């Protein structure tokens, strides 16, 4: 195996470690340089992992597959960056050389075109010991980081499940009330409420801090006679998001909000196909988009994902 072959291996995979062991068995000075490069790749990978964990994410659309592909991408990217070099490997080598300085070549050895200097066995022994210990610590730290990451992911998933369960348990009776009234399945109704209110955690509030109980993002048009609240919201114009001020309906309770949602759909001709095709999540979401319930071009796909999450909870 040559150096170019090692550059195609991830720093933490079995092939990369086998390559280091092979160099070590040959007592080659190249092992020290390769270990430094592997260290640099692992360090970059940890940095990328930390940056991803610090980046805000939408729990609604996160998946294990997405996390897996992101991790694989980061590992490969760290290996590519280490090949180009960011200076960490050189710093590591410089530190080792301070501890174990390389023997100086004689004038004859420096000038001799056919002279091959033999490796210093004592130096290589110490270097190999440092490499072995250093890689052991790196693997241990990387394993611990993965364990913490797995725990964090599991904890986040548990928290997400708790939010979903609390939301569904609290609002299911009102959704069942609407289902009996106009025939839309309760899971589909809760899916819309979850999309519009961020699982009940981002319901529009009144100026005095009270909840508007507007779980469905229904606007206060000219015919609305009840309470209302003006908020800055995002609307999509020609597929592009724009901030705008809109007036939304406000209710006195969850029951009133769900009752008005049923009336809003049932008494509006544009939503008749929504009600008529509501048994299937796909047709329900499609008809809502066609009727213009929301301006977000991805609204139907988001709604289908949320309905599936509710049905599987």
Of residues 111 and 196, the one with the higher pLDDT is 196
Q: CA–CA separation, 191 vs 304, rounded Å?
A: 8
As a whole number of angstroms, the distance between CA 254 and CA 262 comes to 13
Q: pLDDT tens digits for 216-249?
A: 999 998 889 999 999 998 888 888 888 989 999 9
Tell me the whole-structure pTM to 2 decimals.
0.51
Q: Which long-range contacts (CB under 8 A, 24 or more apart) does 115-119 make?
A: 119/27, 119/28, 119/29
Fold of 183-312: Lysozyme (1.10.530)
Q: What is the pLDDT of residues 34-74, one digit of tens each?
A: 777 777 777 777 777 777 666 666 555 566 666 666 777 77
Lowest mean pLDDT among 77-81, 109-113, 139-143, 246-250: 109-113
**Burial readout 129-144 (b: 16 or more C-beta within 10 A, e: otherwise):** ebbeebbeebeeebee
**Position of tokens 């092939």?**
15
- Clarify whether 235 is annotated catalytic: yes
- Sign (positive or negative) of CA dihedral 147, 148, 154, 157: negative
pLDDT digits (tens, 9 = 90+) for 106-120: 333 333 333 333 444
Three-state DSSP state, 287: helix
**Catalytic residue, candidates 235, 238, 256, 287:** 235
Is the pLDDT at 7 greater than 70? The verdict is no
Residue of 34, 40, 260, 287 with catalytic role: 260
Per-residue pLDDT tens digits for 53-63? 666 665 555 66
Taking the alpha carbons of 268, 269, 270, 272 in that order, is the dihedral positive or negative?
positive
Q: Is the pLDDT of residue 304 over 50?
A: yes
The confidence score (pLDDT) of residue 113 equals 39
Q: Is 74 a catalytic residue?
A: no
Q: Give, in order, the Cα–Cα distances in Å from 140 to each of 34, 42, 46.
A: 19, 12, 13
What is residue 34's predicted lDDT score, i.e. its pLDDT?
A: 72
Domain range list for the chain:
3-102+122-160, 183-312
The tokens of 122 are what?
């004592």
The residue among 109, 110, 125 whose CA lies nearest residue 24 is: 125
Residue 189 — very low, low, confident or very high, per pLDDT cuts 50/70/90?
A: very high
Measuring CA to CA, which residue among 258, 195, 197, 194 is closest to residue 231?
197
Of 222, 223, 241, 221, the C-alpha closest to 232 is 241
């Amino acid at each position: 195996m040559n150096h170019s072959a090692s550059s195609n291996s991830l720093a933490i995979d079995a092939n990369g470690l086998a390559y280091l062991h092979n160099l070590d068995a040959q007592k080659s000075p190249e092992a020290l340089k390769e270990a430094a490069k592997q260290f640099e790749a692992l360090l970059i990978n940890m940095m990328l992992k930390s940056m991803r964990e610090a980046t805000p994410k939408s729990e609604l659309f996160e998946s294990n597959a997405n996390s897996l592909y992101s991790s694989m991408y980061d590992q490969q990217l760290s290996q590519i960056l280490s090949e180009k070099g960011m200076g960490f490997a050189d710093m590591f080598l410089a530190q080792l050389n301070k501890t174990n300085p390389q023997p100086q070549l004689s004038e004859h050895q420096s000038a001799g075109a056919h002279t091959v200097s033999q490796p210093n066995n004592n130096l290589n022994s110490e270097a190999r010991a440092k490499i072995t210990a250093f890689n052991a610590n790196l693997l241990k730290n990387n394993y611990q980081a993965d364990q913490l990451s797995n725990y964090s992911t599991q904890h986040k998933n548990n928290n997400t499940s708790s939010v979903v369960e609390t939301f569904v348990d609290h609002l299911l009776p009102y959704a069942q009330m609407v289902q009996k009234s106009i025939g839309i399945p309760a899971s589909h109704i809760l899916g819309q409420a979850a999309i519009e209110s961020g699982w009940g955690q981002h319901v529009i509030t009144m100026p005095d801090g009270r909840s508007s109980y507007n779980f469905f993002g229904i606007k206060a048009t000219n015919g609305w006679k009840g309470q209302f609240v003006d908020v800055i919201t995002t609307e999509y114009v020609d597929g592009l998001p724009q901030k705008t001020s809109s007036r939304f309906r406000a209710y006195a309770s969850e029951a009133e909000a769900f009752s008005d949602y049923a009336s809003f759909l049932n008494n509006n001709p544009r939503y008749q196909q929504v009600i008529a095709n509501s048994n299937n999540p796909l047709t329900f979401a499609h008809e809502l988009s066609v009727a213009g319930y929301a301006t977000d071009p991805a609204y139907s796909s988001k709604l289908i994902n949320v309905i599936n999450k509710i049905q599987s909870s």
